[in-house]
Amino acid sequence: MERFLELVIASVLLAGLYATMAYGLGLIYGVLRIVNLNHGGMIMAGAYAGWYLHSEFGIDPYLALLPVGTVAFLVGMGMYRLLVHRLPRGAAGGVQSLLLLFGVWLVMRNIAYLLFTGNDQTVHTTYATRAITLAGAQVSVNRLAVFGVALATLGILHILLTKTYFGKALRAVAQNPESCTLQGIRVDRIYALTFGLGTALASVAGLLGATLFPFNPSFGAAELLKSFVVVVLGGLGSVAGTAIAALILAAVEVFPTAIPGFPTYLTAALGFVLLVLVLVLRPGGLFGQRVLG
Amino acid sequence: MRTSRVCLLFFVVLMAACKKSGPAPADSAPSGGTAAPAAGDSAGAIRIGATLPLTGAESRIGGFYKEGYDLAFAEAAQNGGIEVGGKKMKVELTLLDDTSTQATAASLADRLINSDKVSFLLGTYATNLVEAQSVVAEQNGIPYVNGGGAATAIYKRGYKWVFGLLAPVELLAESIMKWVDTQQQAGKLPKPATIALLWENTSHGKDFRKGVTDFATKTKNYTVVVDESFELSGKDFSALLGKVKAANADLFLADAHLPDYITMQRQYVTAGLCHKIQSYGARGSEKQAAEALGKKNVEYVLSAVWWSSQLAGKNPEAKKFVELFKSKNGGRSPEWYQALGYETARALFTAISQAGSTDREAVRAKLASLKIPSLLPGGELSFPAEFGQQVHAPFVVQQNLPDGSAPVIAPPEVALGQGIAPNPGCAK
């Protein structure tokens, strides 16, 4: 029973990390219908920003969330105005957006190599190895904090999408941008704000990741893959679905380790098996192709 | 349907991203530290080619190997070249950046041999790159001496042109186990003792596992109660460590690269784990890990490495190298990477000298029968045919102490301390 509880806690905490990584990708796809390949680049940039602020100015990574998120939001808005804005809308822009944002990611990664070399960096805080006892299991304070941020982000996104004018406009644009234009909604502005928001969420995920793992300029690639699996499982465009899918993926990766004789290194592949199954059997995702519900 | 298409496209692009890991183009220019002569302009000079991961994931260590190569070539230049058949010949290095990728390492080796017309090759760093590159050397019949590939798989293919200075990881595991065994014999550890064994799912990790399990089987004093693998660059080891905790083993032995060591040890400490003996294979004494985890959280961790600057006190070749390196690098102490880079180049120079010619076959034969004093632990360098021409020098075992030092504790002939077991930290 104790082992089962440990696995449940491990799954929930891992889900928090996966959900944080995936929100931004899901949001941008839900509204703009483009897969932001530079999501990985912004995760990496967020990690370096947190590390820099901590090592140079002693700013705690959790206090750095707001400034880093704000700057990333502005960067995302700028990136939209400068680059993404020029892409054809809809399916016609699919390939171009992939290539463009992949290029941006490569440029960002190489800039990071030039600035910081390929050395692994870590953020060492006083609470990095601190733990509390929860249901008989030792739980990392850092992991709990990441889970808290994931829950808070989910709550904020829910309120933003359902209770504010921006959220309603955003959902309307996601459903039918042409009609929104007729209703006087500034569609392009909504796109820019959404891209900024998604970019900010990616950088926040990177910053949180930096408190848990060593990272280098290649950081973000594996995280992007995981994010993609989560977003597709949850249904592209569904924020709540993203959170639930993160929990499913984490459970699929964690619980098999309890099976005697199961090769543990295969757990990472289970998520991709799940992805293939969902794409074949339920292409809209486990929770349907909802529009940011 | 559309989602499926987007997914497919996404994966194609992402696979390309995962392959591309550094900023330099595949066909990068020779490094600044070493001259790259044009083909045919080096009368009286021996042209040696090499690639190293100067950018990309392995760039940090690639840079260290470059320091070793540069030092060996600078030393040769200072001596007026190397003696070949009674006359001095200059050695020139053409060094290219393989960007830490297998395909580039292989294609650049081909270029060095067939376009740049080098006479010999020095190897790159990291097992996977050496594995790919050594095939090209073998196909072209060119002596290939490397100090960066440790996996036995490289040397089990029956290649005759490939020589390796990194002793196998199996020996690394065995070196740690031998020290553990002395502690068990001294009554400091339970007999029989149980082992929780975690290994990365790579040839490196598999060799480590084999070394530990073979030793346990041979001595019959150890039982492996957890035997699990994990993927490189893992993000969550908590479930795996939960299994380790449940097993309540005496020894915790893992084989991991530096980032995984830091991530796993952080989760290990957080989970409140403590074992009488703890090791992460070759990792453990790195300053970066102590900074990332806190000095207290890496105390008493054992590690085994191919070389340590502490050998300078006991080995004249190591002393000479350490003094030379420090004089060229503002007093900085070398790590095993630079030492292996230097020794790799020196082994090739010595074989060329002893062959008395630059004939590839003659140099290959000399390398195969080479037996020279070396900076490596054990003090001798040879490429035994029974091990596929891979060096079988012993490893040096170190242990992190509370004062921040990591003295060599085994083998006894080079040890500077005795080591402490069981981990006193567990009693607190």
Predicted local distance difference test score (pLDDT) of residue B235: 80
Predicted structure pTM score: 0.82
Phi, psi of B124 (to 5 degrees): -90, -170
Nearest by CB to B259, from A14, A138, A213: name it.
A213
A90 — contact with chain B (CB < 8 Å)? no
Place A239 in a pLDDT band, splitting at 50, 70 and 90: confident
Condensed to tens digits (0 to 9), the pLDDT of residues A187-233 reads 999 999 999 999 999 999 999 999 998 999 989 998 999 999 999 88
Nearest by CB to A14, from B17, B100, B236: name it.
B236
Condensed to tens digits (0 to 9), the pLDDT of residues A104-137 reads 999 999 999 889 887 889 998 888 888 898 877 7
Residue B54: exposed, middle, or buried by beta-carbon count in 10 A (0-12, 13-18, 19+)? buried
Place A7 in a pLDDT band, splitting at 50, 70 and 90: confident
Distance, in Å, from the CA atom of B331 to the CA atom of B340, rounded to the nearest integer, reads 19
Q: Is the dihedral of CA B292, B294, B297, B300 positive or negative?
A: positive
Nearest by CB to B4, from A3, A268, A279: name it.
A279
Q: Report CA A179 to chain centroid distance, whole Å.
A: 30
Instruction: Collect all residues of chain A within an 8 Å Cβ-Cβ radius of residue B18.
Output: 221
Would you write out chain B's pLDDT as a tens digit for each of its 428 residues? 445 555 555 555 554 444 444 333 333 333 333 333 333 334 579 999 999 999 877 888 899 999 999 999 999 999 999 999 999 999 999 999 998 899 999 999 999 999 999 999 999 998 889 999 999 999 999 999 999 999 898 999 999 999 999 999 999 999 999 999 999 999 999 999 999 999 998 888 999 999 999 999 999 999 999 999 998 878 889 889 989 999 999 999 999 988 899 999 999 999 999 999 999 999 998 888 898 898 999 999 999 999 999 999 999 999 999 999 999 999 999 999 999 999 999 999 999 999 999 999 999 999 999 999 999 999 999 999 999 999 999 999 999 999 999 999 999 989 998 899 999 989 76
Give the SS3 label for residue A253.
helix
Domains and CATH numbers, chain B: 22-167+316-387 (3.40.50.2300), 175-305+396-427 (3.40.50.2300)
Predicted local distance difference test score (pLDDT) of residue B232: 80
Predicted local distance difference test score (pLDDT) of residue B40: 38
User: Structure tokens of A188?
Assistant: 């392009």
∠ CA(A9), CA(A10), CA(A15), 5° rounding?
Answer: 100
Q: Minimal Cα distance from B246: which residue of A?
A: A3
Number of Cα atoms under 13 Å in the Cβ half of residue B357: 6
Contacts of B174 (CB under 8 A, 6+ apart): B211, B214, B215
Amino acid in position B381:
L
Contact by Cβ (8 Å): B249, B226: yes
Contacts of B356 (CB under 8 A, 6+ apart): B84, B85, B86, B362
Nearest by CB to A236, from B3, B239, B259: name it.
B3
Distance, in Å, from the CA atom of B32 to the CA atom of B264, rounded to the nearest integer, reads 38
- For residue A209, the distance in angstroms to the closest alpha carbon of chain B comes to 9
Contact B267 A140 (CB under 8 A): yes
Q: What is the ipTM of this complex?
A: 0.79
Predicted local distance difference test score (pLDDT) of residue B30: 38
Predicted local distance difference test score (pLDDT) of residue B36: 37
User: Structure tokens of B47?
Assistant: 């042209």
C-alpha distance across the termini of chain A, in Å: 36
Give the SS3 label for residue B117.
coil
Interface of B with A in 253-312 (CB under 8 A): 258-259, 262-263, 266-267, 269-272, 288, 291-294, 297
Predicted local distance difference test score (pLDDT) of residue B7: 52
Average pLDDT over all residues of chain A: 89
Predicted local distance difference test score (pLDDT) of residue A236: 65
Predicted local distance difference test score (pLDDT) of residue B103: 94
Of the candidates B210, B12, B217, the residue with the CA atom closest to the CA atom of residue A228: B12
Predicted local distance difference test score (pLDDT) of residue B14: 53
Give the SS3 label for residue B402.
coil
The stretch A146-154 carries a mean pLDDT of 92
Q: Report CA B282 to chain centroid distance, whole Å.
A: 9
Percent of chain A having pLDDT more than 70?
A: 95
**Residue written as tokens 């993203």?**
A242
Contacts of B94 (CB under 8 A, 6+ apart): B30, B34, B36, B37, B47, B48, B49, B50, B112, B116, B118
